[in-house]
Amino acid sequence: VWRDGMRTVDKDVQAVTRSIVGHVQTSLARQAYNLDNLGAYQAAALSARDDLLVNWNTTQLTFTRKQPKRAYYLSLEFLMGRTLDNALLNLGLKDKFTDGVQKLGFNMEDVIEQERDAALGNGGLGRLAACYLDSSASQELPVWGYGLRYKYGIFQQLISPQGEQLEAPDPWLDNQNPWELPRLDVTYDIRFYGRADRLDDGTGRAVWHGGQEVLAVAYDVMIPGYDTASTNNLRLWESKPQRGFDLNSFNAGNYEGAVEASNSASAITSVLYPNDHTTCAPNRSIPIHFGKELRLKQQYFWTAASLADIMRRFKNAGKNIREFPDFVAIQLNDTHPTLAIPELMRILIDDEDLTWDQAWTIVTNTFFYTNHTVLPEALEKWPVPLIENVLPRHMQIIYDISMNGQVLLASNHVSDIQLTAFVEGQPKQVRMAHLACIGSRKVNGVAELHSELVQTTILKDFVEFEGVSKFGNVTNGITPRRWLDQCNPELSALITKTLKIEKSVWLKDLTKLEGLLPFAEDKAFRAQWSAIKQRNKERLAHHVQTTLGLIIRTDAMFDVQIKRIHEYKRQTLNILGVIHRYFALKKMTPEEKKKVNRRVVFFAGKAAPAYYIAKLTIRLIVNVARVINADPDTKEYLQLYFLPDYSVSLAEVLIPASDISQHISTAGTEASGTSNMKFCLNGGLLLGTVDGANIEIAEEVGENNVFFFGHLTPAVEDLRYQHLYHPVPIEEKCPPLAFVLNQISAGVFGGDGVYEPLLNTIRQSDYYLITDDFDSYIATLEMVDEAYLDKEEWIKKSIRTTAKMGKFSSDRAINEYAESYWNIEPVSIPTGG
Ligand code: 26W
């Protein structure tokens, strides 16, 4: 049914309220007259779910009938955030539900706020997976996601009175989850440990037996497309003891052992590992999770269950196994699912009786690998003895893959036989990026610069060996549905009114935003544009006041840096810049201060629980905020906030309120960044380094609309070498920075020396080049101030930025994967209703 230019479910407000009340009474077993917001949310969610289910069923039925080639997105993380608002917008039912809950005496915004985020991810990689699911469904592409149903998502961050990060569990499933469908009939037995005995029949086959068997149970999450009935599936696996206890231990009369085994089975999907990028503690010798058996078990449990499920679906279609790559494409989201490569080899050789070569041809035409980081400490390596113990058959296969690689190399006269899936050292380790690369059809990075770096650094040998055509780039994208229409409804409405086209048109073809360009010259339009930014600032201030009790002034520039806390992302550079500004303000006369651009600086982000330096950074920010916000000399001109417990939902309030956001990683370290795109889409300007997708954003919006600073990627290695072999004291190299560091050391922000280890990372090797980039950073911040004082010119930049962000829709990105890699096509889904 078409309404307002959108294919909506055919339902009037009365039908909506009837359905909600029905759920209150029958699903929740409550009375409509004494319902609270939480009850209203649950009933509204169940009602929306009914509509999703109809579409989901139609979609899956259509796939089963038409048997198109399908793509599967294997990701250990899906950072979905909330679902209700998004589902209603995609279904075209938001207005009716808003009216409907109002008729029942509720405010839609309050109802939406009741939902807990599904925070099954750490950051960029997990949120990217969520955006790609939205785009796949919206473009009617047959794509399923596969992940784990963690009982606990990313930890909740609390800030102690001293400013330290504390971690609390995130029991997100405690209030029931209306968005998932348990599939207690879709289960697989997943084996660990035991023995792998090679058959001596010359086939290379082996039998893997014994050990522990764990049950994988499917939970399905419906993924509605925007303005289409197409509703895809995200299948998450839960681990359970196979029969509630371990039969072997039970038979031996070992009751305690049996109970223990059941504990360890459910442990597999109990918690999301909270580390991104950092696999080592600061001394770079204490591994945080590599070598952690449970993490390896998570990875295998998930890939094995997903492959078994994909294989069962393929076989149900009655195809020949050799046609597997014609019907199945599997995208590996980073190296976390790389065990899928030896697992598919195992299935094809041991279960399907194929030869090694037949199996390898299928595998290398099925998998695609995306790399998301070139930081050496973030590259996965698994100790051989660990794999040998947990997955003995897979270790044999990995050795065989490596050996075959060596033979091929020798026959190709490649001199450098470094090309193996292994590193030397005791114990030997498997380099997962190498295995993923060898076993895949294509390998891609996530922005132009990053894809270049993948080919010239970590996978250089493979480019030489396998040819450059295996390597490519797909620049990341974001879904404009959540990251503009949902989080910034007023701006979305203004855009629709101005472009004079249906919202559903530009939200599906984001390049249409270019139509805003001429309006940058329209004074009345600029006034509306900036009034919306102002109201978004007030919405953020209101949110902070109600959640934290803090009063934020909104007559100032909002300057935002929100992302995981990491040395390479350089929150330190930002806070040192804030301190520098604070002392500059302290020195000013009242006359001078009057000309100052007022700033409110926001930080938010989590640190990996064992990442000591990152946690010190948070502590420093919180304590600097305390001093600055209380100083009567400066508080009118500079305010600083660290907002705890960063999440998708918090980002949705922060991003639309930002005038400028900071993306200031050391050049060559941030693979892409995706929040940079979200800010710019919402008319926030970008202050950043020449890194990741910042470069492509500048290419689109024009260099005069972004603020770049800092050394470029090719200079980085040289500078690091200089630091080590020709160190110059900071007092000489950068006196303003030396002053700031000394003030911190002197205790101006308290701490009694606690910040020394953080400051020493800068004073000593300064791996991330704070001392080299500080001066140009400060100079650029001053340019930002100057630009902001010219209000009209600033708004023009803001409008032009939004207008040129079309490229960064995840619709464009997912189409590149679909066309150039997976070779899949849209399947149109008949509209029900
Ligand atoms: C320690 C194990 C580990 C290592 C790396 C866990 C997770 C990771 C991820 C690759 C970290 C991540 O999220 N990378 C980010 O991916 C985004 C989506 O492509 C990019 O935009 C970011 O630049 C990149 O940091």
Ligand 1 pocket residue status of 476, Cβ below 6 Å: yes
SS3 686: strand
The CB-side HSE value for 675 (13 A sphere, CA atoms) comes to 31
What is the token pair recorded at 160? 């102690």
Q: Which structural domain range is residue 339 located in?
A: 67-82+117-476
Q: Which amino acid is at 213?
A: E
Stated length of the chain: 833
Q: Is residue 499 part of a domain?
A: no
Task: Give mean pLDDT, residues 484-494.
Answer: 98
450 CA to centre of ligand 1 in angstroms: 12
- Name the percent of the chain lying above pLDDT 70: 93
Sign of CA dihedral 716, 719, 723, 724: positive
Q: Is residue 483 part of a domain?
A: no
pLDDT digits (tens, 9 = 90+) for 33-82: 889 999 999 999 999 999 999 999 999 999 999 999 999 999 999 999 99
pLDDT digits (tens, 9 = 90+) for 29-46: 998 888 999 999 999 999
What is the token pair recorded at 614? 């990152």
Which atom of ligand 1 approaches the CA of 373 most closely? 10
Ligand 1 pocket residue status of 574, Cβ below 6 Å: no
For ligand 1, pick from 76, 127, 275, 277 the residue to mutate: most ligand atoms within 8 Å of CB: 277
Identify the helix (H) or strand (E) that includes residue 388: helix 384-390
Query: Does residue 104 contact residue 32 with C-beta atoms inside 8 Å?
Result: yes
Do 62 and 140 belong together in one domain? Answer: no
Ligand 1 pocket residue status of 124, Cβ below 6 Å: yes
276 CA to centre of ligand 1 in angstroms: 6
Do 14 and 135 belong together in one domain? Answer: no
Do 90 and 139 belong together in one domain? Answer: no
The CB-side HSE value for 480 (13 A sphere, CA atoms) comes to 28
For ligand 1, pick from 292, 370, 372, 446 the residue to mutate: most ligand atoms within 8 Å of CB: 372
- The single residue of 564, 606, 723, 797 carrying the catalytic annotation is 564
Q: What whole-number distance in Å separates Cα of residue 582 and Cα of residue 623?
A: 13
Work out the angle at residue 661's Cα, subtended by the Cα atoms of residues 138 and 788, and round it to the nearest 5 degrees.
Answer: 120
Do 265 and 137 belong together in one domain? Answer: yes
Which atom of ligand 1 approaches the CA of 77 most closely? 7
Q: Is residue 93 part of a domain?
A: yes
User: Can you spell out the DSSP letters for 232-279?
Assistant: EEEEEEEEEESSSS-HHHHHTT-HHHHHHHHHHHHHTTTB----SS--
Strand extents, DSSP E, 392-517 = 422-423, 429-431, 442-445, 471-473
CATH number, domain with residue 660: 3.40.50.2000
> Would the pTM count as exceeding 0.80?
yes
For atom 2 of ligand 1, the residue with the nearest CA is 276
Residue 282, pLDDT score: 45
- The single residue of 569, 663, 723, 807 carrying the catalytic annotation is 569
Task: Give mean pLDDT, residues 311-337.
Answer: 97
Confidence at 410, pLDDT banded by 50, 70, 90: low
451 CA to centre of ligand 1 in angstroms: 14
Q: What whole-number distance in Å separates Cα of residue 108 and Cα of residue 736?
A: 50
Instruction: Specify the higher pLDDT residue, 209 or 280.
Output: 209
- Name the percent of the chain lying above pLDDT 90: 88
Ligand 1 pocket residue status of 723, Cβ below 6 Å: no
Do 187 and 291 belong together in one domain? Answer: yes
- For the chain, the average pLDDT equals 94
Q: Is residue 17 part of a domain?
A: yes
Q: What whole-number distance in Å separates Cα of residue 831 and Cα of residue 817?
A: 26
- Contacts of residue 316, defined as CB under 8 A and 6 or more positions apart, other chains included, come to none
- Contacts of residue 489, defined as CB under 8 A and 6 or more positions apart, other chains included, come to none
- The single residue of 23, 240, 372, 615 carrying the catalytic annotation is 372
Domain boundary among 454, 476, 498: 476
pLDDT digits (tens, 9 = 90+) for 198-225: 998 888 899 999 999 999 999 999 999 9
Do 661 and 751 belong together in one domain? Answer: yes
Number of folded domains that form the chain? 3
Ligand 1 pocket residue status of 673, Cβ below 6 Å: yes
Q: Is residue 549 part of a domain?
A: no
Query: Does residue 125 contact residue 273 with C-beta atoms inside 8 Å?
Result: no
Query: Does residue 100 contact residue 12 with C-beta atoms inside 8 Å?
Result: no
Do 93 and 186 belong together in one domain? Answer: no
335 CA to centre of ligand 1 in angstroms: 11
Distances from the Cα of 629 to the Cα of 578, 601, 623, 626, 764, angstroms: 12, 11, 10, 6, 31
Domain boundary among 476, 505, 531: 476
Confidence at 248, pLDDT banded by 50, 70, 90: low
Ligand 1 pocket residue status of 334, Cβ below 6 Å: yes
What is the token pair recorded at 624? 């600097």
Do 105 and 131 belong together in one domain? Answer: no
SS3 464: helix
Query: Does residue 680 contact residue 674 with C-beta atoms inside 8 Å?
Result: no
Nearest to 579 by CA among 764, 715, 762: 762
Query: Does residue 796 contact residue 527 with C-beta atoms inside 8 Å?
Result: no
Ligand 1 pocket residue status of 62, Cβ below 6 Å: no
Q: Is residue 828 part of a domain?
A: no
* Rg over CA atoms, the chain: 27
373 CA to centre of ligand 1 in angstroms: 6
Query: Does residue 687 contact residue 779 with C-beta atoms inside 8 Å?
Result: no
Do 388 and 444 belong together in one domain? Answer: yes
375 CA to centre of ligand 1 in angstroms: 10
For atom 11 of ligand 1, the residue with the nearest CA is 276
For atom 13 of ligand 1, the residue with the nearest CA is 125
Identify the helix (H) or strand (E) that includes residue 723: helix 713-725
Q: What are 216's strand-pairing partners? A: 188, 239
233 CA to centre of ligand 1 in angstroms: 23
Residue 283, pLDDT score: 44
Say whether 678 is catalytic.
Answer: yes
Residue 194, pLDDT score: 97
**Any idea what DSSP says for residue 510?**
G
Q: 238 in the Ramachandran plot: left (φ > 0), alpha (ψ -120 to 50) or beta?
A: beta
Query: Does residue 326 contact residue 377 with C-beta atoms inside 8 Å?
Result: no
Do 121 and 239 belong together in one domain? Answer: yes
- The single residue of 62, 674, 689, 780 carrying the catalytic annotation is 674
Do 307 and 454 belong together in one domain? Answer: yes
Whether the per-residue pLDDT at 286 is higher than 70: the answer is no
Q: What whole-number distance in Å separates Cα of residue 170 and Cα of residue 220?
A: 21
SS3 687: strand
Which atom of ligand 1 approaches the CA of 127 most closely? 18
Confidence at 250, pLDDT banded by 50, 70, 90: low
pLDDT digits (tens, 9 = 90+) for 750-787: 989 999 999 999 999 999 999 999 999 999 999 999 99
What is the token pair recorded at 452? 């270049």
Q: What whole-number distance in Å separates Cα of residue 826 and Cα of residue 142?
A: 7
Q: What whole-number distance in Å separates Cα of residue 75 and Cα of residue 130?
A: 10
Say whether 372 is catalytic.
Answer: yes
Query: Does residue 502 contact residue 496 with C-beta atoms inside 8 Å?
Result: yes
**Any idea what DSSP says for residue 642?**
E
Which atom of ligand 1 approaches the CA of 290 most closely? 1
Q: Is residue 720 part of a domain?
A: yes
Query: Does residue 191 contact residue 303 with C-beta atoms inside 8 Å?
Result: no
Ligand 1 pocket residue status of 130, Cβ below 6 Å: no
What is the token pair recorded at 477? 């994208």
Confidence at 465, pLDDT banded by 50, 70, 90: confident
* Ramachandran angles phi, psi of 276, nearest 5°: -125, 135
Give the pairing of strands 231-241 and 212-224. antiparallel
Do 712 and 759 belong together in one domain? Answer: yes
pLDDT digits (tens, 9 = 90+) for 530-580: 999 999 999 999 999 999 999 999 999 999 999 999 999 999 999 999 999
Question: What is the 3 state secondary structure string of 105-153?
Answer: CCCHHHHHHCCCCEEECCCHHHHHHHHHHHHHHHCCCCEEEEEECCCEC
Nearest to 138 by CA among 492, 475, 370, 480: 480
For atom 7 of ligand 1, the residue with the nearest CA is 276
413 CA to centre of ligand 1 in angstroms: 35
- The single residue of 70, 149, 678, 807 carrying the catalytic annotation is 678
pLDDT digits (tens, 9 = 90+) for 335-369: 999 999 999 999 999 999 999 999 999 999 999 99
Query: Does residue 621 contact residue 164 with C-beta atoms inside 8 Å?
Result: no
372 CA to centre of ligand 1 in angstroms: 5
Q: What whole-number distance in Å separates Cα of residue 362 and Cα of residue 347?
A: 11
Task: Give mean pLDDT, residues 671-675.
Answer: 98
Count of Cβ atoms closer than 10 Å to residue 419 Cβ: 18
Q: What whole-number distance in Å separates Cα of residue 339 and Cα of residue 212?
A: 18
Which atom of ligand 1 approaches the CA of 673 most closely? 21
Q: What whole-number distance in Å separates Cα of residue 629 and Cα of residue 615?
A: 21
Ligand 1 pocket residue status of 76, Cβ below 6 Å: no
Say whether 563 is catalytic.
Answer: yes
531 CA to centre of ligand 1 in angstroms: 36
Q: Is residue 575 part of a domain?
A: yes
Confidence at 287, pLDDT banded by 50, 70, 90: very low
